[in-house]
Amino acid sequence: MPRTTTRFDVAIVGPGPVGAVAALAMAKQGFRVALIGPSIARRDGRTVALMDGSWRLLTELGVTQRLSDEAAPLATMRLVDDTGSLFRRPPTEFKAHEIGLDQFGWNVETVTLSAALLDAVGDEPAIARFDHSLSDLRADADMARLNLADGSVIEAKLVAGADGRRSAVRAAVGIGGKDWQYPQAALTTIISHSRAHRDVSTEFHTRSGPCTTVPLPGRRSSIVWMVTPEEGARLMALDDAALAAAVEERTHSILGALQVDGPRGLVPMGGLSVERFSAPRTALIGEAAHVFPPIGAQGLNLGLRDVAALVDAAREPDPGAPEGLAAYERSRASDVRTRTGAVDALNRSLLSDLLPVDFARGLGLLALDSIAPLRRFVMRQGLTPSGR
Ligand SMILES: Cc1cc2nc3c(=O)[nH]c(=O)nc-3n(C[C@H](O)[C@H](O)[C@H](O)COP(=O)(O)OP(=O)(O)OC[C@H]3O[C@@H](n4cnc5c(N)ncnc54)[C@H](O)[C@@H]3O)c2cc1C
């Protein structure tokens, strides 16, 4: 028997963090929203540092209020050149108060954030949840038609593809792109430590990529350690005591004696750059539109700026009208490409042991350290697209 077709203003494919925020934000604008796809949240020691602009957006959507005491502020970010380079600089520190803030943002376990987002989605009557995956998408000038794996059919004026790096939406509308791999994997875990972190996140830049400690509430921090895939497999096989000792050595015991205090995960590192961010009736958001390594806490923050730009471009009575999608395309082009390029360049400069590359990186950090307006500009760029 043919299934009935349900109509919405906006269909969002992918209930990950970016898709869930997009659903809440579109519902707040008065649109009827379908949020499509199974929610699979795995505890793997991953946390996400949400910068000030992202945190404010989540507060407006009633999400941060659901995180109670599970997020920790990031008041200082410290970069330590641990590459052994000839042009090594002393540690560079960025303090939130230099740009008039109490903190740059907040760090929270990714599964905790996802649970809070899906709770908020469940409480929003304008959002209908569909648990099955997208299997097919067709769009014409007036409407998009989505077929789900259980046979249900949805029609919407705008489709937001928030279905991650292997986006079925992107493939269905024929948006090409370039993806690449790095000879790296990110080991993630959570540690408890004998010394207080004092709300400081420290990024040690090493020859295999950064190893970063990020504060969590109490004497706990998350670790994102970029290593070769072989080293990642070796670390994953260690028992908790041996892994804690390895992290303590890598982080020069700045947090004192460590214990592993959570699950762990290993994520292969890659990048993705798309040729366009939109197609008729369709926009790509989050990792469907851009992927890069976790350096400087950029990925989800950029995804939430995609959401803000799409909500801005979506107008009653037709949120998927061509002029709105053209505005979305313009707004994403420079923000996404600048950040993807900057993170890629920094990551590759760490992997390279060519002297001129080392010199350029050392010079960049020196300039950041010593030129006050440049420091403030870069710090603000970490928070908002325009540095406002
Ligand atoms: C180690 C690590 C640390 C990070 N730290 C930070 C940080 O501190 N700050 C930061 O801003 N970013 C960080 N990031 C990046 C951040 O985690 C990602 O940008 C973010 O999780 C991407 O969210 P998303 O919703 O776009 O994609 P995903 O989380 O991949 O969600 C995609 C969703 O789509 C669903 N889906 C897939 N296919 C279909 C289909 N056919 N139909 C329906 N649904 C489908 C999936 O089930 C999933 O729910 C980090 C990343 C890593 C790897």
Helix, strand, or coil (residue 44): coil
Ligand 1 pocket: which of 18, 169, 187, 347 to mutate (most atoms within 8 A of CB): 18
Q: How far is CA 191 from the centre of its chain?
A: 21
Structure tokens belonging to residue 88: 């090594």
Phi, psi (rounded to 5 degrees) for 216? -120, 170
Question: How far is the centre of ligand 1, averaged over its atoms, from the C-alpha of 163 (Å)?
Answer: 8
Q: pLDDT digits over 112-147, tens only?
A: 999 999 999 999 999 999 999 999 999 999 999 999
- pLDDT band for position 4 (50/70/90)? confident
Atom 31 of ligand 1: nearest residue by CA position: 16
Element (H, E) at 324: helix 322-351
Nearest to 323 by CA among 164, 158, 160, 147: 158
Q: pLDDT digits over 47-63, tens only?
A: 999 999 999 999 999 99
Give the homologous superfamily in CATH for domain 5-43+110-177+272-352.
FAD/NAD(P)-binding domain (3.50.50.60)
- pLDDT band for position 86 (50/70/90)? low
Closest atom, ligand 1, to C-alpha of 14: 34
Amino acid at 248: E
Top-confidence range, 89-93, 330-334, 339-343:
330-334
Q: How far is CA 250 from the centre of its chain?
A: 24
pTM over the 0.85 mark: yes
What per-residue confidence (pLDDT) applies to 28? Answer: 97
* In the block, residue with structure tokens 């890629």: 344
Atom 9 of ligand 1: nearest residue by CA position: 297
Question: How far is the centre of ligand 1, averaged over its atoms, from the C-alpha of 3 (Å)?
Answer: 31
Nearest to 301 by CA among 27, 58, 14: 58
* In the block, residue with structure tokens 């197609």: 279
How many other CB atoms are found less than 10 A from the CB of residue 326? 12
What per-residue confidence (pLDDT) applies to 44? Answer: 93
Q: pLDDT digits over 184-193, tens only?
A: 999 999 999 9
How many other CB atoms are found less than 10 A from the CB of residue 355? 11
Sequence-ordered list of residues with C-beta below 8 angstroms from that of 311, at least 6 positions apart, any chain: 22, 25, 26, 29
Omega of the bond leading into 317 within 30 degrees of 0 (cis): yes
Ligand 1 pocket: which of 112, 159, 163, 306 to mutate (most atoms within 8 A of CB): 163
What per-residue confidence (pLDDT) applies to 88? Answer: 63
Per-position DSSP letters for 147-164, written without gaps between them: EETTS-EEEEEEEEE---
Element (H, E) at 353: none
Q: Is 301 in the pocket of ligand 1 (CB under 6 A)?
A: yes
Q: Is 227 in the pocket of ligand 1 (CB under 6 A)?
A: no
